[in-house]
Amino acid sequence: MGFIRGALLVVACVALFILLFVGNILLTVSSSLKYENVKPELVSFLGDVLEEQFSIEEKLNQLLPAIELYCQVNQQYLFNYGGYTFTIPCNVAMEGSDALIESGVNALVDQYYYADYECDFWNCFGEEDVPLFLVSEKAQDYWQSKFYLVFFFSIALALLVFFLVQKKINFFFLVGALTIVSSLPLIKLEKIAPLFANAPGEMADYVPKIILMFFNQAQSVFIKVLIIGVMLVIIGIVLKLFHIGFIISNFFEKIKLQKFGKSKTKKVVNKEKNMKSIKKDKAIVLDKEIKSKSKGKVVKKKNKSK
């Protein structure tokens, strides 16, 4: 029975480690794809692409006089370039080409991030020429839902480990250690991006930057998961200390009880001895009294007979 329990514990720990590792990756991706985290990365990336691939700054400098003229009677300026539609407020247009590019790219990011993609997540690959849905709210929701699913199974496995561990205090050390170890690969996630530097296609030079967008929160997630693991270990240590303290307290209590018991036993024995001696003395006195009374009666009878 002990062998089966031990084997099940090993299998449960291995499965829990795998789930924790996958959960950390999913949490990193879903956190990285949040709007406030992905937008700065995406704005910088799209700005570089538009400049290097389409020389947008040069084009805007050519259009700037026409834009300024157009904005004298209009609120915003729209133009298509490189397959993208840019909407630029006229008050920004007066600030120059750099402000135009920044405003246009910001508007473009908002447009694609919050776009209503009607396709399923994996089917969108075939429907989108440029898979911008990968850095959209749709993608963030998708990876977050997968994280919650893995988190649920991790909790279930952790409970199984708790029931399989013979000494329950060791549960905190075991799960804490697994959590800490599962977080360590997050430190090296940024090293994955350069591996895609030689990817085929026109966007090959930008693939590492795209990959990094999915893991921009790796350090933050690593720190959070590491703290959770360390806290579990600390809880185990505290419970262990309380357990040892409880054992020591019980040891001294037993010593006190033994001393108290011995002294109490001595008192009881002495009391019993005193009671016996008192009873014995009373019996002797009573016996003497009875004998003296019987003698007195005998003397009286003799006197009467005389």
Does a structural domain hold residue 297? no
Give the residue among 179, 144, 183 at the shortest CA–CA distance from 158: 179
Task: State the pLDDT at residue 34.
Answer: 93
Asked whether the predicted pLDDT for residue 149 surpasses 90, the reply is yes
Task: State the pLDDT at residue 295.
Answer: 53
Better pLDDT: 186 or 89: 186
Task: Choose the most confident range, by mean pLDDT, from 12-26, 35-49, 209-223, 247-261.
Answer: 12-26
Give the residue among 305, 153, 154 at the shortest CA–CA distance from 225: 154
- At residue 173 the predicted structure's pLDDT band, cuts being 50, 70 and 90, is very high
Does a structural domain hold residue 249? no
Task: State the pLDDT at residue 299.
Answer: 43
Does a structural domain hold residue 248? no
Does a structural domain hold residue 219? yes
- Mean pLDDT value of segment 184-195: 76
Range of the domain at 219: 2-243
Does a structural domain hold residue 63? yes
Does a structural domain hold residue 61? yes
Asked whether the predicted pLDDT for residue 139 surpasses 80, the reply is yes
* Amino acid identity at 154: S
Convert the pLDDT of each residue in 97-110 to its tens digit.
677 777 778 887 88
Convert the pLDDT of each residue in 229-285 to its tens digit.
999 999 888 888 877 656 655 665 666 666 555 555 555 555 655 565 555 555 555
Task: State the pLDDT at residue 201.
Answer: 52
Q: Phi, psi at residue 102, to the nearest 5°?
A: -60, -45
Q: Where are the alpha helices (DSSP H) in 79-123?
A: 90-93, 97-113
Task: State the pLDDT at residue 129.
Answer: 56
Contact (CB, 8 A) for 207 and 199: yes
Domain count across the chain: 1
Give the residue among 157, 155, 159, 119 at the shortest CA–CA distance from 138: 119
Better pLDDT: 71 or 236: 236
pTM (two decimals): 0.72
For residue 16, give Cα distances in angstroms to 10, 28, 167. 10, 18, 19
Task: State the pLDDT at residue 298.
Answer: 44
Helical pair 170-183 and 218-305, crossing angle rounded to 10 deg: 170
What does the alpha-carbon distance between residue 28 and residue 215 come to, in Å, rounded to a whole number?
A: 6
Convert the pLDDT of each residue in 201-216 to its tens digit.
555 566 677 778 888 8
Task: State the pLDDT at residue 21.
Answer: 95
What does the alpha-carbon distance between residue 2 and residue 222 come to, in Å, rounded to a whole number?
A: 36
Q: Phi, psi at residue 84, to the nearest 5°?
A: -115, 145
Does a structural domain hold residue 138? yes
Better pLDDT: 302 or 142: 142
User: Is 190 exposed, middle or buried, given 0-12, 13-18 or 19+ CB atoms closer than 10 A?
Assistant: middle
Task: State the pLDDT at residue 58.
Answer: 72
Does a structural domain hold residue 129? yes
- Mean pLDDT value of segment 186-198: 69
Share of the chain above pLDDT 90, in %: 28
Better pLDDT: 4 or 259: 4
Task: State the pLDDT at residue 1.
Answer: 47
